[in-house]
Structure 1
Amino acid sequence: MNRDLDKKRHVGLKMDEALLLIHNELLRTDLTVYWKSERCYHCSFQSLADVSASGQPGKAGIAAVSVSTQHGSILQINSTLEEKEVCRLEYKFGEFGNYSVLVKHTHKGVSEIACNLVVNENPVYSDLPVIIAFLVGLAVIIAGSILKFLLSLDDFNNWIFKAINSQETDRLINSELGSPGTVDPLSGDTQPGTWRPPHSPHRLRCVDTFRGIALILMVFVNYGGGKYWYFRHASWNGLTVADLVFPWFVFIMGSSIFLSMTSVLQQGCSKLKLLGKIAWRSFLLICIGIVIVNPNYCLGPLSWDKVRVPGVLQRLGVTYFVVAGLELLFAKPVLENCASAGKILLYYKDQTKDILIRFTAWCCILGLISVALTKISENEGFIPVNKNLWSISYVTTLSSFAFLIMLILYPVVDVRGLWTGTPFFYPGMNSILVYVGHEVFQNYFPFQWKLEDNQSHKEHLTQNIVATALWVLIAYILYKKKIFLKI
């Protein structure tokens, strides 16, 4: 066991905490230390510690407390008897750091008091594992995309063959068996191979990729997100990574509803029959969601006072029924120009410029609405961004981000084929299975195991990344086996 682990256990520190020692060198003046987070809007100070006065010159009364390191801290030190503020400090403590606040009289006289903060032991850089994991993942995605693109080029394949095979084998391939390029059926001449974007012409790969991005983020944050605060939902106003995924799921669902519904209606399916399918799918989503959020049903029948009804799939089921029902109600056999997400992709199919212009326009319009509502402030706007309330600014902000992502993904994935959407495309094609599976098996090996140090962000992050990556691998295998869970 390393020295850092011994130190953490010795002082009793947990993740996102630092040790703070308050030294009171004032004679006959007891102190009370108050604390609050700088992110807590209009919050009152909380009592942190009482520090007795110094018994004699040269000695100090000392109190040891733990302080949060997630956000900046505001310390207010008062004299206990008079309840008069002695001094105030604002500081961002580092995880597992050791700090001291020295409260003493200045050299100018006993009437002036100084509060000095000293770093006894440097903190650890707790965000380093996240940065490394992000850069490694990004490098793997970029390298894989570049390699796949190169392998699709005949010239590169020829170069590989020449580098690996002998001169005689290369001669036989080119002269007798024909080169890997495309042969002109009229002249017999070898023509350069034409690279085609790896996607079905009837399915937009960028939509499945976006769905996969949202799903993988959801799995990761549900598994704990390395126990970092920005991978948890905001307690009230504000926005974290965890607050992004559910609205994006709803956004993609709304886009997919129109795309799939239009296809079904064009095949001659009646509206009444389609309404029955919509109701049945909504019912299944709600039922599956209720089973998932009540994992103790195997221990016996649940009583109504203990059963939980709300959940992610339940909300998706209700939203799906409402949105799909309204779309079906107003659906027309003749397509009309409209400016909603899925309709843009369908109405302006193969008109890349028009699609990108509309994505940009809606991204900017919704973004400007968010700016007006929030005043670019977490708490001071007319309507702050609030996930718990699903405030209108939360909806417009996340919708603006969604259009921005589609603005990037559509040309990169579907138009130019510069990226196949790997690895997010595969879970995006099997989203129900991945979501249900990660909820059901989250407490089982290999998705979870006993950690050596339960107070280490690095170990939690490693476990959560491995668990998330396993679901990507499972989705990839199921995709190759052509196994998809559809309801």
Structure 2
Amino acid sequence: HIALKMDEALLTVINDLETDLLWLCVTPGWPPMQLWTRSLQFHFGEHGNYSLWLKNLNNVSHTNCSIMVNSNPVNSYIRECHTHKCLIMLCSYSQRLTIFNLLMRPLYLVLKSSHVNFLLPIQELGSPRMDALVTDNILPSPASSSRRLRSLDTFRGISLVIMVFVNYGGGRYWFFKHSSWNGEPNLDLFVFIMGTSIALSINSMLRGGKSRSSLLRKVLWRSIQLFLIGLFIVNPNYCLGPLSFNNLRIPGVLQRLAWSYLVVASLDLLVDAWWSPGLDVLLYWPAWLCVVVLEIIWLCLTFLLPVPDCPTGYLGPGGIGDMGLHVNCTGGAAGYIDRWLLGENHIYQSPSSKVIYATHMPYDPEGVLGSINSVLMAFLGLQVSIFLFFPAAVMVHLIEKRRIITLTVLTECSTDKGFIPVNKNLWSLSYVTTLACFAFVLLLLVYYTIDVKKWWSGAPFYYPGMNSILVYVGHEVFEGYFPFRWRMVNSQSHTEHLIQNVFATSLWVFISYILYRKRIFWKI
């Protein structure tokens, strides 16, 4: 009997996944030569200690593997359950306030005529707004052309709160972490809702009498501002002197938003289309043609571009992935283009694949090639905005045949297989299609609940959604400072991580609420 000690990094993978894994027992000469394999399934719990035993190594036909539990794992989800209970209690309390306010509607209308406003604090806690009655016609009238849809800000706030919580650590639970390569449990919905907001804002400003040339200049200036703010955020050298261009990271989240905003807003301004239910594709055919051309460019570069010492069309993580056959091929064409165009020192140096796959090549998940697909996602968000004006077209879009069929064909209904796997690191076509489908359904529910039926005011997500740039920049700049982070007694405990991350996220929601009450908004 031979006891093999697991590598610390491999043990971390087991602890994070907490699922059934398929073990391959191989000879000590692996990976150059694999002589025999035996499979073994076992459920690994967090903080458990295990030993892998191999028997009869000299006789291949009788060789087998077994796992011994040296110390029992712990239940890591108890604290998460308690947190969910607290959130459910808060939601229940908010719902009771909503029901109370609905019952008090007649009294409210009487008191409102007498200029009594004692019910206003209840409205701020999540009750439906009373300043506008629900009507069957939701087409925006000329008198209320500047009316702001609360559902869009609420949707943006939901996306932002999820992003802040995940960036702060997500309680160190594996399902809140960025995937090491294929698959992505986290939701980056900012690009989608930005496309929806573009259509509504440009349409409103055009009806207000502004020229397309002036709006194009505004779009260009706003894109430049977003890009420069993104450079400041991803290069945190605030207290160490001036930044050096030698190691300045160029791509980033805000930089990708700036690029997507510039392209999609320009397409929307240059296409002279009038909204009509069910005909958005036909009326936007020049813009769709541009987007299709961009996607063809992405497909050709991804699958046809020759990458030195790498197979053509490679989409893997490199490193020890794929049996270590493509060590320096992280990201395939996407990584190669970034390193060639921007330089190795100007992209992300610690990708999520570094720990699991032991990659040593720099790779940026917000790179150049993936930004093409971010344009597609923003444009899909722009197209979805049509249902905000014409509810009859909702069912047409809800079917989403094009996206669902595309997703099924590309991924073969799996995470790691298929022609194009779901991959956030690459911002693959299947990932964009998946996220766009989910975002559309979520936006539909939020819009119907808030702006149509007035069942919910959008609180508390509405407040960070109104100050999204400030909250995003603030949570990035002050991430390592108290009270958003403090030294823990036991850094291996989910309890302390969950408390810290939930508190930090809630603090930004509270800050955005205070700024909302003070009418302080950071807009560019």
Change over 3 Å in CA distance of 1:369–1:79 after alignment to 2 = closer
Correspondence for 1:226? 171
Change over 3 Å in CA distance of 1:359–1:479 after alignment to 2 = farther
SS state at 2:182 partner: coil
RMSD value, Cα: 3.4
Correspondence for 2:297? none
1:95 equivalenced with 2:132 (yes/no): no
SS state at 1:479 partner: helix
Correspondence for 1:214? 159
Q: Which amino acid aligns with 1:455?
A: Q
Correspondence for 1:264? 205
Correspondence for 2:76? 126
Correspondence for 2:258? 317
The separation in 2 between residues aligned to 1:461 and 1:114, in whole angstroms, is 40
The separation in 2 between residues aligned to 1:155 and 1:125, in whole angstroms, is 47
Change over 3 Å in CA distance of 1:457–1:402 after alignment to 2 = same
- Using CA pairs under 8 Å that are at least 6 residues apart, name the structure with larger relative contact order, 1 or 2: 2
1:391 equivalenced with 2:428 (yes/no): yes
CA shift, 1:396, in A, is: 0.8
Change over 3 Å in CA distance of 1:345–1:321 after alignment to 2 = closer
Change over 3 Å in CA distance of 1:181–1:205 after alignment to 2 = closer
Residue pairs, 1:436-455, within 5 angstroms: 436-455=473-492
Residue pairs, 1:199-348, within 5 angstroms: 202-241=147-186, 244-245=187-188, 248-332=189-273, 334-337=274-277, 338-339=279-280, 341-342=381-382, 345=385
Correspondence for 2:406? 369
Correspondence for 2:447? 410
The separation in 2 between residues aligned to 1:485 and 1:93, in whole angstroms, is 47
Correspondence for 2:506? 469
Larger strand proportion of the pair: 1
SS state at 2:247 partner: coil
Correspondence for 1:137? 87
Change over 3 Å in CA distance of 1:143–1:372 after alignment to 2 = farther
* Selected match of 2:398 from 345, 360, 363: 360
Change over 3 Å in CA distance of 1:144–1:393 after alignment to 2 = same
Change over 3 Å in CA distance of 1:376–1:281 after alignment to 2 = same
1:425 equivalenced with 2:462 (yes/no): yes
Normalising by structure 1, report the TM-score. Answer: 0.71
The separation in 2 between residues aligned to 1:180 and 1:389, in whole angstroms, is 57
Residues 32 and 80, structure 1, Cα contact 8 Å, conserved in 2: no
The separation in 1 between residues aligned to 2:72 and 2:8, in whole angstroms, is 26
The separation in 1 between residues aligned to 2:73 and 2:8, in whole angstroms, is 24
Larger helix proportion of the pair: 2
What stretches of structure 1 of length at least 5 have no aligned partner? Answer: 1-23, 25-30, 36-45, 50-64, 106-110, 159-177, 184-194
Change over 3 Å in CA distance of 1:326–1:73 after alignment to 2 = same
SS state at 1:468 partner: helix
Normalising by structure 2, report the TM-score. Answer: 0.67
Residues 128 and 456, structure 2, Cα contact 8 Å, conserved in 1: no
Q: Which amino acid aligns with 2:203?
A: T
Correspondence for 1:148? 98
What stretches of structure 2 of length at least 5 have no aligned partner? Answer: 115-126, 133-143, 281-379
Greater shift in the superposed pair: 364-373 or 318-327: 364-373
Change over 3 Å in CA distance of 1:210–1:80 after alignment to 2 = closer
The separation in 2 between residues aligned to 1:126 and 1:133, in whole angstroms, is 13
Residues 197 and 415, structure 1, Cα contact 8 Å, conserved in 2: no
The separation in 1 between residues aligned to 2:239 and 2:9, in whole angstroms, is 44
Residue pairs, 1:61-72, within 5 angstroms: 68-71=14-17, 72=20
Q: Which amino acid aligns with 1:278?
A: V
Give CA deviations for 1:353-394 in whole Å, capped at 9, x if unaligned. x153134123x5422321121111112212111112221111
- Answer with 1 or 2: which has the greater Rg: 1
CA shift, 1:328, in A, is: 0.8
Residues 54 and 66, structure 2, Cα contact 8 Å, conserved in 1: yes
